[in-house]
Amino acid sequence: MDHVKVGRLGPFPRVCKPVFLSSITLIVAFIIFGAFFNELASEVFGQAKAFISMRFGWFFILVVNLTLVVSIYLIFSRYGDIRLGHQTEKPEYNLFSWIGMLFSAGIGIGLLYWGTAEPLQHFMAPPLGEPETIAAAKQAMNISFLHYGLHVWGLYGMVALALAYFHYRRGLPLAIRSTLYPLIGKRIYGKWGHTVDTLAVFGTMFGVVTTLGLGVLQINSGLESLFDIPNTITVQIILIAIITALAGLSLTLGLDKGIKRLSDINILLTVVLLSFVIILGPTQFIFNSFVENIGNYLHEIVPLGLWTESYNGEANWQSSWTIFYWAWWISWSPFVGVFIARISRGRTIREFTLGVLLIPITILFLWFTAFGGSAVHMELLAAADPSMVSPGLIEAVQADYGSAIFKLMESYPLAKPMTLLIIVMIVLWFVTSSDSASFVIDMLTSGGDANPPKLQRLFWAGTEGVIAAILLAAGGLGALQAAAIVSGFPFAIVVVVMMYALLRGLSRDRLILYRNQQWFITEESAEHNSANEFRDEHLLTGPPKIQKPSD
């Protein structure tokens, strides 16, 4: 049976040498370029980012909409009852832990960084209409929901589903290369597979490192307001070291004891903070606007989701926001997809897709309404009543996106304890993002091994911290962010190919559910599997009895 060739490389016991070495080479080259030729790197990647955003923005929009359409199709299709594993298998993780880990690998940190800042930003500078009006407030919530809503999780879910399907039902490695098997067959074990996995490592590494660098800036901002700790590069590098050490500790504990437990804690703290803001804030407004925001979002999802600014001459706003987000999420999709696939064994395609699409966005939308919506509401009230003192939230966003949530907390009781809680949550979210990314990168560089060696996981966690510290000190995060966006373009093409490969693979899975809820495999499929063109999970433990359905 063909497989990805792995072996020892120095102190690392089990790596796929072509992927590992090419990834390290690219990463080191970028560190040198970004740190020592910062201005040139910023210019080169900035121009590349602008070119891709302006010329191929329509392609990013098309891809994310296509992933959502295919996801919805799979929910209602005959493939929805296919289980990611044996048909009698139960989910590996309970729903609570699964949701927590979805956030740890997905966009949990976006809650704290953008949950308050983005609605305020679109409120004061909307792409259409007058700023700081009721119409601008509604538009701000619609846009924020778009950037974190169904399109994002449709993208993540599609990548994760393709990986999970080919791994759990076909026995292929848990790596991006496996999704291309129906198209290129055994060549996934050669240079094409190595190239795709290396691209996934690049996007994952630089996406996480950029987030880590930006995140410590927000943590430093919170510590400054709470304890008067200076906002300096020295403090930020110390914070990176602490987060990296905590991520390493979590990695040594493994997926179940480390990432899973931290994710459970994150969800509990998220519920505590969200409940605090809802109960002690404008509770009636939050619930009323939550319902209305969802209605407005669903009403506008098609025109807003397909909006390209084509009649405005140039898509300046789109390239800075929506296209930026789509490219950013696409560059993150290998990391998020591999991790979600790793924790989703035992779920049906319908259950998996519904869960990935609906559960995270429900929490995200409530959060954006409670934090961003409340902040916008405060500014509207202050503008309508001259006797009221402005809460200063717009000024905070203009100065620093990361400080917006801390400024909002000043309007609540227990401001200092809540600020401390937010700082703890940011650290924990970054720890889980870092160790999740290290886990995924190690899987990709070890040939798709679902349980890669701990030493290699620690190496990648340390590498993330070192890169973030070097580029933060050199001022190279801007170039790094632009490079992550640029890397999203080729992977957008891979996502389209993955969707086609998944649908083609599903069409060959001859499982059909009949009235009595029993599963059957046609003789054609059994012969097809016995020839090992696809390594189906059923055949690894003995296929079910082959029957012909009765009329």
Query: For the chain, what's the residue count?
Result: 551
Q: What is the pLDDT of residue 230?
A: 87
Query: How far is 487 from 470, CA to CA, in rounded Å?
Result: 21
Query: How far is 485 from 282, CA to CA, in rounded Å?
Result: 37
Calculate ∠ Cα 314-319-325, nearest 5°: 155
Q: What is the pLDDT of residue 481?
A: 67
Place of tokens 């308050």: 116
Helix pair angle (150-168, 38-76), 10° resolution: 70
* Nearest residue to 469 (alpha-carbon basis) of 208, 248, 219, 233: 233
Cβ–Cβ under 8 Å, residues 495 and 333: yes
- Helices (H), ranges, 321-414: 322-342, 349-368, 374-384, 393-399, 404-409
Cβ–Cβ under 8 Å, residues 318 and 308: yes
Alpha carbon distances (Å) from 505 to 74, 167, 346:
13, 12, 18
State which amino acid sits at residue 128. Answer: L
- Please list the residue range(s) of the chain that carry CATH number 1.20.1740: 7-509
Task: Kindly state the DSSP code that residue 83 receives in the 8-state scheme.
Answer: B
Q: What is the pLDDT of residue 542?
A: 32
Over residues 189-209, the pLDDT tens digits come to 999 899 999 988 887 887 778
Domain boundaries 7-509, CATH class: mainly alpha
Q: What is the pLDDT of residue 107?
A: 66
Quick one: CA torsion of 353, 356, 362, 365, rounded to 10 degrees?
A: -120
Round to the nearest angstrom and report the end-to-end CA distance of the chain: 39
State which amino acid sits at residue 337. Answer: G
Which residues of the chain fall below pLDDT 70? 1-2, 104-109, 254-259, 313-315, 389, 475-481, 484, 509-551
Cβ–Cβ under 8 Å, residues 347 and 83: yes
State which amino acid sits at residue 520. Answer: F
